[in-house]
A and B are shown apart, each in its own frame.
Chain A
Amino acid sequence: MTDANATLIKMEGVKKVFYTDEVETHALSEIHLEIKKGQYISIAGPSGCGKSTLLSILGLLDSPTGGGYTLNGQPVANLSISERTRIRNREIGFIFQAFNLIGDLTVYENVELPLTYRGTSAAERKQKVQHALERVGMAHRLRHYPSQLSGGQQQRVAVARALVGDPLILMADEPTGNLDSKNGEAVMELLRDLHRNGATVCMVTHDQRYANFAERTIHLFDGRIVEETQEARVGA
């Protein structure tokens, strides 16, 4: 995560329209956004304002209906599914509200998943998974299944999974939404530590307390960016 101030993400006039029967729903309109490497940005707003849709497009889980999107200098708005899959695998790490760990896989296997799809050798996978789990303090739970872990532990494993492939950016969608306040705080601390160590983080949250952990907050309303705030106590 070197080369601070270099632009990692650039969105220009991005819009997203959902079509159901004869009804058009404009989920996002005229989104202009730039995220630099090493930034910690949160996307906030009321329910239904388009936060998750924006994060999905940012994470290449969805594609915009219009506008331009450049990731690390590469236009990605109109990539094929397989190209999007490849970039997602190598350059983006996801953390979901519902953890989204696979119940039939162990902690180790869950974390190893992105590397498996990347074709990384078993030895390298082992070393990277171990390292990622150590970073989130879950190295002692390798053989456990998600159902044997608490919510907070599951989310830490999900963070390890997001980290394991050394992505350019971590995308977190309401990462504390399913956690109690104590575990929520712990996960936020973890993200802050990662950011301090150079990670670029983009987080969706509707909780103002956690939005304040980020150095920049984008406020969405009805699919448009209505306000952007810079936190004074970045990294506090």
Chain B
Amino acid sequence: MSTVWQDLRYAVRVLAKSPGFTVLAVLTLALGIGANTAISTVVYGVLLRPLPFPEPDRIVQLAETAEGQSGEMDLTSLQLQRLREHGQFFESIAGYTDVGFNVAAGNEAAHVRGMPVSADYFQVLRVHPAAGRDFLPEEDRGDGQRVAIISHAFWLRRFAGDPGTVGQKVLLNGDPYTVIGVMPDGFDPRASSDFSAGIAADVWVPLALVAKTVGSGENIGVVARLKPGLSRAQVDAQMSLITQEFRKQFPGDVSARQAIAFLPYQFMIGSDVRPYLLVLLGAIGFVLLIACANVANLLLAQGGSRGREIAVRIAMGATRPRLVQQLLSESLLIALAGGVLGLAVANAVLGWLLALAPVSLPRLSDIHLDAGIFGFTLLVSVLTGILFGLAPAIYTTNTTLSEALKEGSGKASAGAGRARLRQSLVVGEFALSLVLLAGAGLMIATFTKLMNTSPGFDPHRVLTMQFWLTGSRYKSTPEVANYYQSVVQKIEAWPGVEAAGIVAAGLPLERGGNNGVRIAGQHQSDWLASNYREASPGYFRAMGIALREGRGILDSDTGDSNQVVVINEAFAQKYLSNRNALGEHVYVNGVPREVVGVVADVKSYLDRPSEPTTFIPGAQTSYEGSKIWEGWFPRSIVVRASGNPLRLSKSVREAVAAVDPLVPTGAVRSMDQMLAHSVGLRSFMMMLLSIFGGLALVLASVGIYGVISYAVSQRTREIGVRMALGARPADVLRMILAEGLKLVAVGVALGVAAALMLTRLLEGMIYGVSMRDPLIFVLVNLLMVAVSLAACYVPALRATRVDPITALRYE
């Protein structure tokens, strides 16, 4: 112990004596460890932090899987019922779905996210109301009873935290519900498949109320708590049996390629962003490795000037392990200082990351520094210290005593091994940097491609505002159509508005509704998958969707008129390829409709082809059907402005309130904002990979600068001799630059090979660009050569200024 203390004391002294070296090393590591800690905190918070439920490992989500990939998570109420019957290994099992509720209060209206859940939902999560009680089984039977459990936030907002709230009534979609419980503060069990991911639920009601109405009881998420002590194999075997039975019972739902499987509940949350986060974690790990290589290089250079000291210690009887311990204590001290400073860096970087994080990143509130992260940083620091300290310590203590102790050998000879190690480290730094820059290049190209991909409409100068009519005073399709007309007329009267329209069941660039349609004349069972939208007459003009054939939706398309449908080009090509689309009849929701127009394809996802879509006139829809769609996707007012659309936000909100203040409105966004949001994750990825790549390149450049500078200082005498013998400065410059470029070339070659393998991890994230895009690889190579030439130029220039006379006297 006393030797450790002695080593630490000496380490402090040594580090204090070389402040330049110490500061550079500590800052390099602080940057590496800090950025690593920040990204690890995000990964931990989103993917790994235990969910705030007792024994969360036993909570599983039931999902359809196909060839090992998790797919659609939703099952039907009938399937849930069958699963309950096979419940020997469930402690509890529950279904849930997602709807919106209009909450009327006085002269104001609001929309909240609600979750119809089965009676044992809270039992599965083992979280129970802080006030009041849980649902009773009988409340979740038959048509369900109008009882509700509310969130802590809603209780504060709507009931001002009144302790007597339990037992009071709340109007949900215009129906009175009795509040039976208030959930604890912070309870937020959202999952990634939720349509309203990003918005916490405020109200829970019995599933039975909607189970038979929501898509005929479809779209039900199922969570279960496994009995304790079950092995994965037992569960898998049981699920295999259940899948076989489901295939027989629900032949249309579970194909031969699909299976019903348990996936850890935690795994499902954040599953969409998992690959992105893991790539970022790997990338920042590379940056830390590069930082370590740099510090190891600094230590090797410093070790070179400590050869005599080490030799003296060995001569005095220090064993090699003892000396390695001493040198490691110095590197550990640097690493710990880097770790402490790294936490400050992590804190700053984390704040910045969270501010820029895309909305699709779940569990944002779980991303924070805590004792566990501190421990992780400490561990990373110690490992880092060992990683960058061990090799230099071993090389530094590998000295030829009789030479090192001689007069005039104060600087230990560079040693071929040590020089090779330093060069190898720089080669490694460049190889890793190239991988990161290639990744960044691919993401930049992807982002550029996406931004240049036409969404199928003109997104500029368009404002959208969500609203909901369920629970309002509009109880029929004609009433809804009249409301639409009033709102559109009111908005179009505002100056600066060019057109306005309304769409239901989904805006472009967002997830929307889809259903099965049938072409008239085809076999009854030939259902075709198609996106479904309800639109008002002005919608296509307001959104800037081009009409290709026929006409759009007109005011004359009422409930009493000919039932019509407008389709998109994808629909026409895919389902009506051999015929003229106009005049064809398509069954939508069982109603035959005449195709009266074909519009341009509009994208729901920029990186995917447009899907066949039907647009039904708002005045010809089923009122009950629209209500179901509205449970998942808000209706939206779409306004085309003559200038900046966001300037109209207030006017549009006022116009809607003027028509009916009891219609709740939601987010107001421009389509440009939605476009940016739709590429948010990739933009985030591109930005971070570019920063990591840039950081890696800077660190690698510092590394090669250090190696070449050291080589020049070691070769001063040789350079002097060369110059004395007639070498011109240009010859010396060429010689030194060539030495640097040789290292870069090896690093780049290794990096290209590694990048070709590792960029495969970006599959699924890149779009419109080949993983082996030669242009990106050439550009990255040119960038690296240019930057490294600049880094080598300074020491090379110094070499050309060597005075031969001084150099020949140089020790």
Contact = CB atoms under 8 A, between A and B. Distances in A.
B309 A102 contact: yes
Interface string A139-162: 000000000000000000000010
B319 A94 contact: no
Interface in B293-341: 308-309, 311-320, 322
A117 B308 contact: no
Interface in A128-179: 161, 165, 173-174, 177-178
Given A61-B401, A98-B407, A177-B407, A104 B319 contact: no
B320 A114 contact: no
B314 to A, nearest CB: 7
Main DSSP-derived SS at the B contact region: helix
B405 A117 contact: no
Given A85-B314, A89-B317, A98-B407, A116 B402 contact: no
A62 B402 contact: yes
B6 interface: yes
A194 interface: no
A206 interface: no
A61 B10 contact: no
B525 interface: no
Interface in A44-70: 52-53, 56, 59, 61-62
B753 interface: no
A181 interface: no
B17 A161 contact: no
B13 A102 contact: no
B561 interface: no
Given A81-B320, A88-B317, A90-B317, A56 B312 contact: no
A104 B13 contact: yes
A88 B317 CA distance: 6
Contact of B10 (A94, A105, A122): A105
Given A61-B401, A105-B10, A97 B318 contact: no
B579 interface: no
A67 B6 CA distance: 40
Nearest to A91: B317
A74 interface: no
Contacts of A190: none
Interface residues of A, number: 35
A110 to B, nearest CB: 9
B313 A102 contact: yes
B401 A117 contact: no
Contacts of A165: 317
Contacts of A101: 312
A186 interface: no
Contacts of A90: 317
Contacts of B312: 96, 100-102, 113
B405 A61 contact: yes
A117 B319 contact: yes
A116 B405 contact: no
Nearest to A100: B312
B603 to A, nearest CB: 67
Contacts of B724: none
Contacts of A53: 402
Contacts of A178: 407
Given A117-B318, A117-B322, A104 B308 contact: no
A44 B82 CA distance: 101
Interface string A68-111: 00000000000001100110111000101110111111000000
Given A102-B309, A116-B3, A161 B316 contact: yes
Nearest to B401: A61
B309 A117 contact: no
Interface in A172-224: 173-174, 177-178
A236 B406 CA distance: 31
Contacts of B13: 104
B317 A118 contact: yes
Nearest to A93: B316
Interface in B390-416: 401-402, 405-408, 410
18 contacts: A56-B401, A62-B402, A85-B318, A88-B315, A88-B316, A96-B312, A96-B405, A97-B407, A98-B408, A100-B308, A100-B312, A101-B312, A102-B312, A104-B10, A105-B10, A161-B316, A173-B405, A178-B407
Question: Which 5 A-B residue pairs are closest in the complex by CB-CB distance?
Answer: A89-B317, A56-B402, A117-B317, A61-B401, A98-B407
Interface of A: 52-53, 56, 59, 61-62, 81-82, 85-86, 88-90, 94, 96-98, 100-105, 113-114, 116-118, 122, 161, 165, 173-174, 177-178
Interface of B: 2-3, 6, 10, 13-14, 17, 308-309, 311-320, 322, 401-402, 405-408, 410
